[in-house]
C-alpha cells in the first residue's frame, strides 16, 4: 500500500513494461502462444520453428489443448454464474509452468443487463426534430433529465492536438461533476483511445459525468468505433449510452447547424458547452440499435 515509483494517476498501464516480441521470445515464455505467418505458403503455422512475422494467437493452448483452458474456464463460469445469479465477465492469469501450471482469477464483474427493452417506432420519427440520429447505438431506454451537451467543434478539430483536447474536456468534466450534472459528450474518432491519432485519448475519470458518449466521423476523419473491453463494461454496468454516428453513411447525422445556433455557456479552444432550459429527450432502442436525441 506504500506509494511506489509509479504514478497511477497516469493510467492503469503505467506499471507495465513494453517488451519487443523478439526479446520475449528469447526468454522462452512464448512457446505455447506464438504462431508464425509463412508468406511463401500464405499460412499461419503454430510454433516458432518457422521464419516470418510472429503472431500471438495462443494457438498451442486453444487448438492443441496444451493447457485445459476451455474446460477450466467453462467450469469456473458455471460455478460463478450459479453463485451470483447472473452472467459475469472475468479477468484471469495462467501460469504455463510445466511442473506446476495454474489458473488464477484476478477479478470478476457482473454483466448487468436490462431485460425490458425500449422500442422506437421508426414511422413516428421526424428527423427534422432531432439533434442526432444513429442506427449504431448501444444502450437501452429513455433519458429525460439531461440539459447539457459538450461537443468538440468540428471546425476546430485537429488530430495533432487530441492530447490537448483531453485536458480541455477533463476541466469541463470537473465543472460538471462539481455541479452534479450529467451531460452528452460528442467528439470525432474514438474516446479513450491509446492512439491519439485515432481520437481523443482520455482516461475514464476525465469524462466520468458523461451519460451519453457519442463518437462521430468527420468529412476528413473517419475511424472505426471503440472496442475496448473495459470501455464497454463501464458503459453497460453504469447504463451509459454509447452512440456511433457515421455521417458518411447518409443515414446517421448530427445537426451541427442547430448546435452552433445555440448560445454556448462556455467555450474552450476546441470544445463548446451548451445548456438547454429544459431537459433533452434521449431515446435508445437496444434491439434495433436505433438511438436519437430530440431538439
Q: Give the tens place of pLDDT for each residue, 159-192.
A: 999 999 999 999 999 999 999 999 999 999 999 8
Q: Decide if pLDDT at 64 tops 70.
A: yes
Q: Mean pLDDT, to the nearest integer, of 197-214?
A: 91
85: left (phi over 0), alpha (psi -120 to 50) or beta: left
Task: Report whether 291 contacts 139 (CB < 8 A).
Answer: yes
Q: Decide if pLDDT at 12 tops 70.
A: no
Torsion of CA 289, 189, 213, 229, to 10 degrees: 80
By CB atoms closer than 10 A (0-12, 13-18, 19+), residue 242 is buried
Q: Could you give the CA distance from residue 58 to residue 191 in angstroms, rounded to a whole number?
A: 29
CA angle 142, 246, 151 (to 5 degrees): 65
pLDDT mean across residues, the chain: 87
Residues 6+ apart with CB under 8 A from 175: 266
What b-and-e string marks burial along 177-212, b requiring 16 or more CB atoms within 10 Å of the CB? eeeeebbbbbbbbbbbbeebebbbbbeeebbbbbbb
Closest by CA position to 146, among listed 37, 264, 276? 276
Domain ranges of the chain: 1-61, 67-111, 122-294
89, β-bridge pairs: 109
Pick the most confident of 52-66, 135-149, 168-182. Answer: 168-182
Model confidence pLDDT, tens digit, residues 245-279:
998 888 899 999 999 999 999 999 999 999 999 99
pLDDT band at 227 (very low <50, low <70, confident <90, very high): low
**Claim: this prediction has a pTM higher than 0.85:** no
Amino acid at each position: 500500500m506504500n506509494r511506489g515509483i509509479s504514478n497511477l494517476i497516469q493510467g492503469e498501464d503505467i506499471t507495465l513494461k513494453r517488451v519487443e516480441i523478439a526479446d520475449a521470445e528469447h526468454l522462452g515464455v512464448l512457446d505455447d502462444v506464438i504462431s508464425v505467418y509463412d508468406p511463401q505458403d500464405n499460412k499461419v503455422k503454430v510454433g516458432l520453428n518457422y521464419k516470418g512475422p510472429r503472431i500471438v494467437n495462443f494457438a498451442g493452448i486453444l487448438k492443441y489443448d496444451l493447457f485445459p483452458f476451455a474446460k477450466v474456464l467453462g467450469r469456473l463460469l458455471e460455478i460463478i454464474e450459479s453463485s451470483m445469479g447472473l452472467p459475469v465477465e472475468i479477468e484471469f492469469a495462467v501460469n504455463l509452468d510445466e511442473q506446476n501450471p495454474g489458473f488464477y482469477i484476478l477479478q470478476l464483474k457482473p454483466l448487468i443487463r436490462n431485460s425490458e427493452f425500449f422500442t422506437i417506432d421508426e414511422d413516428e420519427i421526424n428527423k427534422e426534430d432531432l439533434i442526432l440520429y444513429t442506427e449504431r447505438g448501444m444502450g437501452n431506454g429513455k433519458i429525460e433529465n439531461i440539459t447539457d451537451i459538450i461537443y468538440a467543434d468540428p471546425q476546430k478539430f485537429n488530430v495533432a492536438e487530441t492530447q490537448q483536447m483531453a485536458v480541455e474536456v477533463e476541466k469541463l468534466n470537473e465543472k460538471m461533476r462539481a455541479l452534479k450534472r450529467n451531460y452528452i459528450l460528442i467528439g470525432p474518432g474514438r474516446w479513450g483511445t491509446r492512439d491519439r491519432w485515432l481520437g481523443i485519448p482520455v482516461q475514464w475519470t476525465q469524462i466520468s459525468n458523461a451519460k451519453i458518449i457519442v463518437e462521430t466521423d468527420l468529412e476528413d476523419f473517419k475511424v472505426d468505433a471503440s472496442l475496448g473491453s473495459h470501455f464497454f463494461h463501464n458503459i453497460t454496468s453504469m447504463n451509459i449510452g454509447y452512440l456511433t454516428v457515421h455521417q458518411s453513411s447518409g443515414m446517421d447525422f448530427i445537426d451541427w447547424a442547430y448546435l452552433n445556433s445555440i448560445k454556448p455557456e462556455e467555450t474552450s479552444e476546441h470544445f463548446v458547452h451548451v445548456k438547454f432550459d429544459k431537459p433533452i429527450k434521449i431515446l435508445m432502442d437496444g434491439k434495433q440499435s436505433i438511438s436519437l436525441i430530440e431538439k
